[in-house]
Chains A and B, each alone.
Chain A
Amino acid sequence: LAKTTQPISMDSYEGQEVNITCSHNNIATNDYITWYQQFPSQGPRFIIQGYKTKVTNEVASLFIPADRKSSTLSLPRVSLSDTAVYYCPSNQGGKLIFGQGTELSVKP
């Protein structure tokens, strides 16, 4: 079964680049890698996805190596408002498992 593993928490300071890595065990050949962000009292929301190599949007970049066994979410120059929980869920044939996510705390 597909399963993801990511750090429970990370700390950073404003202006720094933050990289959160997720390991993807048994990811299906046709599955995309997707990351979500959740602020307190809100549901998670999609921020970025990719299949291979690098993807960049206005919020983040996503790096995926050729073997697709891991992915790295990169947040450039974080601010206090980036304090949130970040998830890289696994997809078990449509069954989405989000887990604990990575709690990012950005300090001034």
Chain B
Amino acid sequence: DAGITQSPRHKVTETGTPVTLRCHQTENHRYMYWYRQDPGHGLRLIHYSYGVKDTDKGEVSDGYSVSRSKTEDFLLTLESATSSQTSVYFCATFSGTGGSEAFFGQGTRLTVV
């Protein structure tokens, strides 16, 4: 399995509190992604990174920010968590070279109460 670790795996937090999810990779892949998955919506891209300090918005970026200070780590921050951000969050990595595949972490289940 690709070396992608998400932490924490489960978290319950209160509305209005800041939350940071971490994704760590050992594959040295250029691209890293954060997705959220909700029933009936499939996988929706929140933000992605195409290099250290290089990030861009995805499909559902409002309320989220990201940072990538080194190749192996990609952080997702919910500045002020809301109940609508209750979801399962997946991190993925991708080398970007032709014929390569994306690898996913095991997911983080976040509940905002």
A-side residues, CB < 8 A to B, are 30-32, 34, 36, 41-46, 49, 51, 85, 87, 89, 94-101
Contact = CB atoms under 8 A, between A and B. Distances in A.
A98 B45 contact: yes
Given A34-B101, A94-B96, A95-B48, A44 B43 contact: yes
A41 to B, nearest CB: 7
Contacts of B33: 96
B98 A96 contact: no
A7 B59 CA distance: 20
A95 B56 contact: yes
Size band of the interface chain B makes with A: 20 to 34
A99 B58 contact: no
Interface of B: 30-31, 33, 35, 40-43, 45, 48, 50, 56, 58-59, 90, 92, 94, 96, 98-99, 101-107
A51 B50 CA distance: 23
B98 A98 contact: no
A25 B48 CA distance: 22
Contacts of B58: 95
Given A43-B106, A43-B107, A95-B58, A101 B101 contact: no
A96 B45 contact: yes
Contact of A99 (B40, B43, B94, B104): B43
A13 B30 CA distance: 41
Contact of A85 (B30, B42, B59): B42
Given A41-B107, A85-B42, A98 B35 contact: yes
Nearest to B58: A95
